[in-house]
Structure 1
Amino acid sequence: MKDNCLKTRFKITRLAVVFIFVAILSVGFEADAQSSLKVPPNINYCATQAQKTLGAIPASGNNLPRNIDNGKTDWRYVNYKDWCSGFWPGILWYLYEGTHDQKWKTAANKFTQELKPLSEYSGFDHDLGFMVFNSFGNGYRLTKDPGYKQVILRSADSLATLFNPKVGTILSWPAMVKKMNWPHNTIIDNMINLELLFWASKNGGSRHLYDIAVKHAETTMHNHFRPDYTSYHVVVYDTVTGKKIQGITHQGYADNSMWARGQSWAIYGFTMCYRETGNAEFLDFAQKVADVYLNRLPADLIPYWDFDDPTIPNAPKDASAACITASALLELSTFVKDKTRAWFYRHKAEAMLQTLSSSSYQSRGTNDAFLLHSTGHHPAGTEIDASIIYADYYYLEALLRREKLQHIKAYHHYKSR
């Protein structure tokens, strides 16, 4: 009897020691992850690089930075009609948020105003979310300028005209339907544009905008993914029956490959959809599409442009996908109730940001962008191993989200917009 009591006490003591050890180890890992990533210096770095860009931007004409090709030092500029037009003013708004320096607010307003014509054309482009919400959306969030709000609401109504109720998604590339012979196509990127509709529906716009966003997300969730939760880039639908015809790629390696940035749009998009709707199905799906991405990453956590490119490890990387994913995972970590899993997502995001903030990925003296090694449209041979404006945008967004996580205990209730 005495021996049994001693054995029981020994087991309890051993379990207690193991529990304490695991707890200390977990805290140590988290503390190490947090201490290794220094956010303020990297925000200041972004401000320094952006100041260089401001000094080089043309006074007139195309003046919105889009990319710096590998081996070059100068930005390629586009006008307000380019799908990337909203990222530069969005960066300036984020710098104003991160530094509280009025000069960034002044610059952000200047470049934001250049995009105002986007709200004046119905059904102009499926990427109005990227273009308008990153610019006017961030501007309104930080200033509450009523003029910004009106542009956002008009743009949301414009985007909604591309919704096909028979199919249940927003049309992508309206100008390319005849050229590509795709009756109704939807790209995974469109998940990000839904945030414009969600916001508008809650800030003076029609409830119909909310319904469109939810339906688009649900249809995409059911049709855009393979059984292993990897995403097609494009899904083509029959406009008569509304049924899916096929899943294909336009910017990935192959129709059945996992294009890195496409998967990152999915992680970000479904996380945002959960934030806006509270639908647990979106939260569960966000984790599924995140997990397959995370399980296949290389050691430095920066993906190759396509996970199935047969030339890996000699294929180009895509830092932009890492930036998008890091930002998404930081927000996802605040919604997941399982603390171990939540910590896992946050830890991965911080590790990604740590790599992105290293000399291997920051542009520093190479050019005026924030980051190197992004890939835009590999099959077309454009923006390969380049500096790209949307990588810089999501890198800075992720840094700001990480900073808020450090200082806001009730981050579960924090909304980025």
Structure 2
Amino acid sequence: MKNFLLLCVLSAAGLLLSACTSEPKEEPIGSVIERGLKTATDQALPMTKELENQEGKLPKSMKDGKLETSDYSWWCSGFFPGELWYLYEANPTPELKKYAELYTARVEKAKTITNNHDVGFMLNCSYGNGYRLTGNPKYKEVMIEGAHSLATRYNPQLGLMRSWDSDKQKWQYAVIIDNMMNLEFLMWAGRATGDSTFTQMAISHADKTMANHFRPDYSSYHVVSYDTLTAQPHIKQTHQGYADESAWARGQAWALYGYTMMYREAKKQAYLEQANHIAQFLMNHPNMPADKIPYWDFDCPDIPHTVRDASAAAIMASALIELSQFNPNDFGKQCLNFAEQQIRSLTSPAYLATPGTNANFAIMHCTGHLPGNSEVDVPLSYADYYYVEALLRLRNVLNIG
């Protein structure tokens, strides 16, 4: 009997010790998502009020610890209004709608821009989300005018949209991988107007980029310049990455998102295969950190003693969540699992700001243009936009809420 009692005591002690030393339970992903959306809202609303009476101002980044703003003409002007629309979609309050409308209106002048390719970013993220959620006919009018402005950058002889108007001594016709993101706007315009010219432009640009921007391992060059006489590439290099042959992290994220989106829009199998290859390159890269938030360039020699780019992780996560739905197999599960890990990291104290800090941006530790010593280890408006988009996409895929 004594031996039996001793055994019971030892067993109980063992169970208690096991309970004390076991790993803490992982936070349910639904809780992570809702916490992320709440924090993003708690940051965005004070920012709306801070700039409410500063006509035309839109949040851009943080400089010297203070909020840095832009006007409609800056390439990322549409991201904050777009984030507000996403937050309104998650929690449709009159206050969020009011500010989404207010800041969207500040981007309207972008509809006449013809000197850069980012009109898609500017208008599709702001007016596009607003139109999707409200059906406001005024928003549609602005977008169609903006799509016609963007289409002026297309050269039918090259079959590509020009990204930058540049010094011809260096680049004759510069196309950057970021430009894949603006094709969604053209695909929308093709449907909205019934004019297939917009659609053909987008598909041609995606096809040419797929042929000329990628290396055998499916990493992407940042800039490819085309000879305007032969229509062939004459320069392949970087502008924001570490080196011409390196894999600049955000550029790879733009590529992944761009071809995932183009498969959704055009249903071309080649685009899905391209997106899958890019995803495999990224998810299996030996320099991808354990927390899945990439360094600013995968080939930077200072790894691990260099800065991260949380904006690249947010873009990747959003793309991988969508890509997972186009692959009803083990690879799709891998994509979704990887994105969930990124969301968990971005929603951890390491990257998600405490309300009232970080100039009222949600995400910390982004890198805009390190070689130019611009926007290094700071918040960026597009990081918040794609983070919130990823949260909503994951919530929808998992059917939470």
Q: TM-score, normalised by structure 1?
A: 0.86
1:37 and 1:353 in contact (8 A); partners too: no
Label 1:331 to 1:188 Cα distance change in 2 as closer, same or farther (>3 A): same
Aligned equivalent of 2:364: 372
Distance 1:147 1:400 in 2: 26
Gaps in structure 1 of 5+ consecutive residues: 1-30, 409-417
Distance 2:31 2:206 in 1: 34
Instruction: Spell out the pairing of 1:75-154 with structure 2 (5 A cutoff).
Output: 75-121=67-113, 123-154=114-145
Letter in 1 for 2:330: T
Letter in 1 for 2:157: K
Identity of aligned residues (%): 44
1:61 and 1:79 in contact (8 A); partners too: no
Aligned equivalent of 1:218: 207
Are 1:285 and 2:242 matched, yes or no? no
Aligned equivalent of 2:296: 305
Deviation track 1:315-358 (CA, whole Å, cap 9, x = no partner) reads 10000000000000000000013x21111100000100000000
Label 1:341 to 1:32 Cα distance change in 2 as closer, same or farther (>3 A): farther
Distance 2:304 2:33 in 1: 30
Distance 1:358 1:117 in 2: 37
Aligned equivalent of 2:235: 246
Label 1:62 to 1:381 Cα distance change in 2 as closer, same or farther (>3 A): farther
Distance 2:41 2:241 in 1: 32
Distance 2:144 2:30 in 1: 41
Q: Which moved more, 1:98-107 or 1:317-326?
A: 98-107
Select 1:42's aligned residue among 24, 36, 41: 36
Aligned equivalent of 1:414: none
Distance 1:306 1:100 in 2: 38
Q: How much does 1:46 deviate? A: 0.7
Gaps in structure 2 of 5+ consecutive residues: 1-24
Q: TM-score, normalised by structure 2?
A: 0.90
Q: How much does 1:380 deviate? A: 0.3
Q: How much does 1:34 deviate? A: 5.8
Aligned equivalent of 1:259: 248
Letter in 1 for 2:203: V
Q: How much does 1:124 deviate? A: 3.5
Distance 1:58 1:252 in 2: 35
Aligned equivalent of 2:50: 56
Aligned equivalent of 2:310: 319
Distance 2:353 2:227 in 1: 45
2:171 and 2:235 in contact (8 A); partners too: no
Distance 2:388 2:29 in 1: 19
Distance 2:190 2:106 in 1: 25
Distance 1:356 1:62 in 2: 30
Aligned equivalent of 2:351: 361
Deviation track 1:358-410 (CA, whole Å, cap 9, x = no partner) reads 000011153211011000000100100001110000000000101111228xx
> Secondary structure of 1:383's match?
strand
Label 1:192 to 1:42 Cα distance change in 2 as closer, same or farther (>3 A): same
Instruction: Spell out the pairing of 1:17-28 with structure 2 (5 A cutoff).
Output: none
Aligned equivalent of 1:188: 177
Aligned equivalent of 1:342: 332
Distance 1:33 1:139 in 2: 33
Label 1:206 to 1:177 Cα distance change in 2 as closer, same or farther (>3 A): farther
Distance 1:124 1:244 in 2: 22
Distance 1:33 1:340 in 2: 24
Aligned equivalent of 1:167: 158
